[in-house]
Structure 1
Amino acid sequence: MNIYGAFLKKQIGNYLFGSVLAVMAVGSLILLSSLEISVVEYGRLLIVLVLSFMIMAVAEVSIFLKQIRPVRTALMEPKPTLAVLEEAYLHTHQLPRHAVLRILGPHLLGLSVPATLMTLWMIHSGLLSIPYFYLLLAVIGAVLVASMHALIEFYLTCSAIIPLIKEFRNRALEMYNVDFSLEGHVFVPIRPKFLISCMLIGTFPLFLFIMATQIRMNNTGSGLIGLQSYWAWAGMVLLIGTFFSSVAALLLTNSVQHPINELYNAMNHVKDGHLQQVQDEYSDEFSKLVAGFNMMVRGLQEREQQNRQLLDSYFTTLAVALDARDSYTAGHSLRVAEYSVIIGQLAGLSGQSLDDLRKSALLHDIGKIGVPDNVLFKEANLTDEEFDQIKSHPVLGENILRQIEPVEKMAPYLSGVRSHHERYDGKGYPDGLAGDDIPLHGRIIAVADAYDAMTSDRPYRKGMDHERALIILEQGRGSQWDPEFAGLFLAYFGKAVKSGERQYPGRTG
């Protein structure tokens, strides 16, 4: 209740300040001081203003109470629902716009319509000795004064609602653990706000001066020709003043909108994972914002680099730990990863896709952790049951990786781990996939894994030589292995052999 009372008090103070500044100090003093009428007629005009003000006050107060009803409801309830808090939060952001509509609606009409009707009656009855033409000037003046008042009220309300916005966010966090945000939604765009503000600030004094001068010249008895010359001059002044106000408003708007758009677009790139900095091309306070944003991006880039290095070390450590179970296959996962990268590069993979392939290959045999040693290292022939245990390691590996959080970060590696023992002819395991139905990483890792398995020593056999392994890969192209990736691997080593280079990653000829 205290914050609601403080808000009402501030709104009333702001309203009175705007009224005095726009209506009394600017409008009434200039226009009324230009009239040459008797004290009695001034009194009658004052009565008209007071009665009109009372009508305006009733209309405006009723509209204001309706506008702040969602705010009052949320603040008065001891435990408002989340929907009530959210409605109040969004509605509070719109109060500055509602203030403008309130002043240009019931405020303007509630004052000008009764005042115009009563003044017409007084002129017709002879109670006022002013020309009917002055009523037109008074209506124009009322619109100008109301517009200026609405402008002042808009910016004062923007400041007054800040404590309310903070209060609704804090309550939502405390009661429901929900943080409200506009998520980039704009209720009042900068361009119209600046354009209207600058045009009013630039042209408002000109209009008042010209109107007051018109009344003064009319009272001093200037002739028709003098008045016509005056309005020709006044029209030119208004035209030039409006032109310069519009140009200045447009330039000011662009100078503010451009850096905001730059920063907003850069933040969207950061949100999508692209850590790019903004060029600092500003010499005002926006330079501080750009510098702060770039400092944040550099910090994120350093953290991203550290996380990437940590993740790489994590994958490599897992692969080394797995290979350490068997001295015969030491380095197997690292070599398969190197061979897989070679095939991937030859196939045109690069960037993140190639890195995902390398990590998948590093962990392709992680499921063997769940295979008993007496089966994994058995030198004699395996029974059907034991072979089924060996064949389960791709699925075990996938299940192990699914336990790592966050799940979406491990998703790119699952398909390669699960499918690296599928055969191109559909006779592989665990899913019996064939052809291009086998995931890309699985088809590449299968070639690299087979080559290293054939050329490595095992407890039950000695590794074959390089040339024999290539011959077997050639024979299995299109049946056991993807013909394209097996062909790329064979072509790579074929060129190395023909050129007399017998060294290749991870091994010597």
Structure 2
Amino acid sequence: MSVYKKFYSRLLLNYIAGSLAAVISIASLIIFAFKEIPRNEYAWMLAVMFVSIAAMLGLEWAVFSRQIRPIRQAFHEPVGTFTDMQSIYLKTHHLPALTVKRIIGPHLFGLAVPAASLSLWLVSAGELSIPPYYVLLALLGGAFLAGMHALIEFYLTSHFIRPVLEEMQFQSLQLFGRELTLGGRVLISIKRKLSWSFFLIGAFPLLLYNLAVQFRLGDWNVDHSAYWKWTGIVLLIGLSFAFFGSRLLTRELETPIQHLYERMAEVKVGYLRTEASDLFSDEFSRLVSGFNHMLRGVRIQAARNDQLVESYFATLAAALDARDPYTAGHSLRVAEYAVQIGNLARLPKHVVDQLRKAALLHDIGKIGIPDAVLLKEGQLSEEEWEQIKAHPVLGEAILKQIEPADEMAAFLPGVRSHHERYDGAGYPDGLKGEEIPLFGRIIAVADAFDAMTSDRPYRKGMDAATAICILEKGKGTQWDPYFVGLFVQAYYEKQTS
């Protein structure tokens, strides 16, 4: 049997059984309330019930067919687009709520209106001898039973649609390669669902019992004031207990769910140091323990991934520096100076981390420069100098090939622009002032300082004080005056401390 046929047959079977039980119950409530009813009146009552049931079934079948149509189409007709499939998926999720509306609407009124109208007409015609107010009591009883029926059908339908939803998800992956999901949307809150369920489960039997007692007491014209005063107190106590009990039970279930949801929201934004508090002594304690265990595993894996990424960047930098023994450690030192400037500028921690990685890779484009040019000890020709000047663009192109691209995007501007000058005379784009990306302006200062203080084949590195003086002279022309100022000030403070 296909998924849809099984779903449809189970839904229909349970609905018919529930409807018959509700109708028989309300009919029994009326019929057996009388000790003696003439046989012809029993026949009239049965006729009224058959006509009313026929009207109810006809009206409700029309509504049921319309509600089930999108699901039937998904299994019997080709679904053209993913958007169409997603729409049907959402409508299937709405089916339990639509079932409640169908029972409270067409189901109840399709039965009640014909039954009440025909019964009152037969009473006025003298064919039925029941008091007219019994019809009102029957309507109230029908409403109570319809409410209980709707509650049961809501949970049964919620259960029956799950295999259908799973099959839709499978079909979506097969046809469109995309996963169907609500994306975290809450169609019916658990608080609302449980509070109403608990209240109705407690209130309906109490109300129905009092209604049945009124049938047995007989005419409302007879003085039963003492009984009804007592009954009113019992009803008030019972309904109050059902109301407050439902609120307490709902809160007891909602609190741990909300607690776990808040912790998951923290994890979603990247905060992995959180943990769920072990405040619950029931089965939720297992959920909390499982959540925390899973989160510890995620933290361990995230730490390993961070280590791998760090190793990756360090390896790339080391591979570049290894080509020239005179520039060994250059990338690491530039990264250290860049981090120092970033911290002095009070950049956010995650931005400083991105800056450090960009600084480690700032010269990665030199991998594409021939050794004959890169390691040449004498003066470079104009053509060779143009090859050297191409390394920022080459570096950006290399990093663009690394996946995932969005993880590398933050480093690209710093790699491309670390040889731009503040006055616009730099390369490769001739950017000026604030046009130069933030990382490019910072790395330019760090790169220049390390280049001036490092030994080269054709010269010995200058002392730090001399390099600092050159940086000061180049403020506002070659380098960003703000970042040079921070770096120079930190140097002098360190010298005087």
TM-score (norm 2): 0.94
Contact 2:123–2:129, Cα closer than 8 Å, also in 1: yes
The CA deviation string for residues 180-233 of structure 1, in whole angstroms up to 9 with x for no partner, is: 1111222222233223222221111121121221221226xx8743x2233333
2:257 counterpart of 1:260: yes
Displacement after TM superposition at 1:367 (Å)? 0.8
Q: How does 1:367-378 map to 2 (within 5 A)?
A: 367-378=365-376
2:235 counterpart of 1:238: yes
Is the alpha carbon distance of 1:474 and 1:83 closer, same or farther for their aligned partners in structure 2, counting shifts above 3 Å? closer
Distance in 1, matches of 2:121 and 2:358, equals: 90
Q: How does 1:4-43 map to 2 (within 5 A)?
A: 4-25=4-25, 27-40=26-39, 41-43=41-43
The count of residues paired between Structure 1 and Structure 2 equals 495
Is the alpha carbon distance of 1:81 and 1:344 closer, same or farther for their aligned partners in structure 2, counting shifts above 3 Å? closer
Displacement after TM superposition at 1:157 (Å)? 0.9
2:69 counterpart of 1:66: no
Contact 2:122–2:128, Cα closer than 8 Å, also in 1: yes
Is the alpha carbon distance of 1:223 and 1:374 closer, same or farther for their aligned partners in structure 2, counting shifts above 3 Å? closer
Match of 1:454 among 449, 452, 455: 452
| Other-structure match for 1:3 | 3
Displacement after TM superposition at 1:31 (Å)? 4.4
The CA deviation string for residues 427-469 of structure 1, in whole angstroms up to 9 with x for no partner, is: 2212222222222222221111111111111122221122221
| Other-structure match for 1:435 | 433
Displacement after TM superposition at 1:299 (Å)? 1.6
Distance in 2, matches of 1:212 and 1:135, equals: 13
Distance in 2, matches of 1:78 and 1:481, equals: 64
- Which AA in structure 1 matches 2:245? A
Q: How does 1:214-225 map to 2 (within 5 A)?
A: 214-218=214-218, 224-225=222-223
SS at match of 2:73: helix
Contact 2:74–2:85, Cα closer than 8 Å, also in 1: yes
Distance in 2, matches of 1:333 and 1:70, equals: 62
Contact 2:79–2:85, Cα closer than 8 Å, also in 1: no
Distance in 2, matches of 1:284 and 1:211, equals: 38
2:465 counterpart of 1:467: yes
Displacement after TM superposition at 1:171 (Å)? 1.1
The CA deviation string for residues 118-139 of structure 1, in whole angstroms up to 9 with x for no partner, is: 1112211222211111111111
The CA deviation string for residues 27-63 of structure 1, in whole angstroms up to 9 with x for no partner, is: 4444433223314133321221122112211211222
SS at match of 1:149: helix
- Which AA in structure 2 matches 1:7? F
Q: Which moved more, 1:303-312 or 1:342-351?
A: 342-351
| Other-structure match for 2:402 | 404
Displacement after TM superposition at 1:23 (Å)? 4.0
Q: Which moved more, 1:462-471 or 1:273-282?
A: 273-282
| Other-structure match for 1:146 | 146
| Other-structure match for 1:387 | 385
Displacement after TM superposition at 1:84 (Å)? 4.4
| Other-structure match for 2:357 | 359
Distance in 2, matches of 1:80 and 1:475, equals: 68
| Other-structure match for 1:206 | 206
Distance in 2, matches of 1:24 and 1:62, equals: 23
Displacement after TM superposition at 1:359 (Å)? 0.8
Is the alpha carbon distance of 1:352 and 1:6 closer, same or farther for their aligned partners in structure 2, counting shifts above 3 Å? same
- Which AA in structure 1 matches 2:249? L
Is the alpha carbon distance of 1:195 and 1:427 closer, same or farther for their aligned partners in structure 2, counting shifts above 3 Å? same
- Which AA in structure 2 matches 1:238? L
Contact 1:343–1:444, Cα closer than 8 Å, also in 2: yes
Distance in 1, matches of 2:263 and 2:17, equals: 40
Q: Which moved more, 1:257-266 or 1:358-367?
A: 257-266
| Other-structure match for 1:504 | none
SS at match of 1:339: helix
Distance in 2, matches of 1:128 and 1:223, equals: 19
| Other-structure match for 2:330 | 332
SS at match of 2:218: helix
Displacement after TM superposition at 1:270 (Å)? 2.6
Q: Give the percent of matched residue pairs that are identical in Structure 1 and Structure 2.
A: 52
The CA deviation string for residues 144-169 of structure 1, in whole angstroms up to 9 with x for no partner, is: 11111111111111111111111111
Distance in 2, matches of 1:281 and 1:439, equals: 49
2:42 counterpart of 1:45: no
Structure 2 regions of 5+ residues with no counterpart? none
TM-score (norm 1): 0.92
Distance in 2, matches of 1:394 and 1:132, equals: 94
Displacement after TM superposition at 1:102 (Å)? 1.3
Q: How does 1:135-174 map to 2 (within 5 A)?
A: 135-174=135-174
Q: Which moved more, 1:378-387 or 1:116-125?
A: 378-387
| Other-structure match for 1:502 | none
Distance in 2, matches of 1:297 and 1:350, equals: 25
Distance in 1, matches of 2:364 and 2:453, equals: 20
| Other-structure match for 1:476 | 474
Distance in 1, matches of 2:317 and 2:186, equals: 51
- Which AA in structure 2 matches 1:168? M
| Other-structure match for 2:421 | 423
Distance in 1, matches of 2:8 and 2:409, equals: 54
The CA deviation string for residues 382-401 of structure 1, in whole angstroms up to 9 with x for no partner, is: 22222221111111111111
Displacement after TM superposition at 1:303 (Å)? 1.1
Distance in 2, matches of 1:10 and 1:39, equals: 40
SS at match of 1:131: coil
Q: Which moved more, 1:52-61 or 1:430-439?
A: 430-439
Structure 1 regions of 5+ residues with no counterpart? 500-509
Contact 1:423–1:429, Cα closer than 8 Å, also in 2: yes
- Which AA in structure 2 matches 1:232? K
